[in-house]
Chains A and B, each alone.
Chain A
Amino acid sequence: RKEVEQDPGPFNVPEGATVAFNCTYSNSASQSFFWYRQDCRKEPKLLMSVYSSGNEDGRFTAQLNRASQYISLLIRDSKLSDSATYLCVVNNDYKLSFGAGTTVTVRA
């Protein structure tokens, strides 16, 4: 079983829509969690950290469910510029495990 699993999508949504997707992780001792964004095979960049209480950053909301071992990302009011691959990342004591990514395409 992979350490981090994501629905690859693609999620194809119109501008203004809300899109949400999850990622599951296998190691219950994982310490911290992140969502990264990657454009067209460029380098990944941090979108947001995920905190136990859930957190928002503008149109983006991240949730963590430790009991069920999943992390979610919700994007509200989608923009064309949100089109990217979103990587779920889990930290296990110096070692980051990456999901394969969820592709989101926002259409006009």
Chain B
Amino acid sequence: NAGVTQTPKFQVLKTGQSMTLQCAQDMNHEYMSWYRQDPGMGLRLIHYSVGAGITDQGEVPNGYNVSRSTTEDFPLRLLSAAPSQTSVYFCASSRRLAGGPYNEQFFGPGTRLTVL
């Protein structure tokens, strides 16, 4: 059981380049999400998905796209990288308890992205 995996671990981009951060989970979790973490600001929700084919915006969605074609995968696409997107990106997944909010979030190891 690998849990939540993310690739790449590190990435350097030039302004204007695009790329996709990969996230996969093998726990059959319905809920998946992407966060960015910046110093002094905590984790901020970018996009989330409650199941295959369903995605929604979080707190800071601008400049990012997501899709959820399978339960396992939830890639995050940077359309045109900007220095303000330099951050650590975490993907997470969880089950949803019947009739209530979800429980423990399982996080991937993170992707450290630098945009020059």
Contacts and interface: CB of A to CB of B under 8 A. Distances in A.
Contact of B42 (A42, A43, A101): A101
Contacts of B37: 41
B74 interface: no
Contact of B101 (A41, A91, A98, A100): A91
- By secondary structure, the A interface counts as strand
B33 A42 contact: no
A43 B48 contact: no
B101 A32 contact: yes
Contact of A43 (B40, B59, B109): B109
A64 interface: no
A64 B41 CA distance: 23
Interface stretch (A14-22, A44-52, A65-73, A74-82): A44-52
6 contacts: A34-B104, A43-B107, A89-B105, A94-B48, A94-B56, A101-B42
A53 interface: no
Contacts, number: 57
A96 B105 contact: yes
Interface in B60-116: 88, 90, 100-105, 107-110
B59 to A, nearest CB: 8
A100 B101 CA distance: 22
Contacts of A44: 43, 90, 105, 107
A8 B42 CA distance: 11
Contacts of B104: 34, 46, 49
Contact of B50 (A32, A94, A101): A94
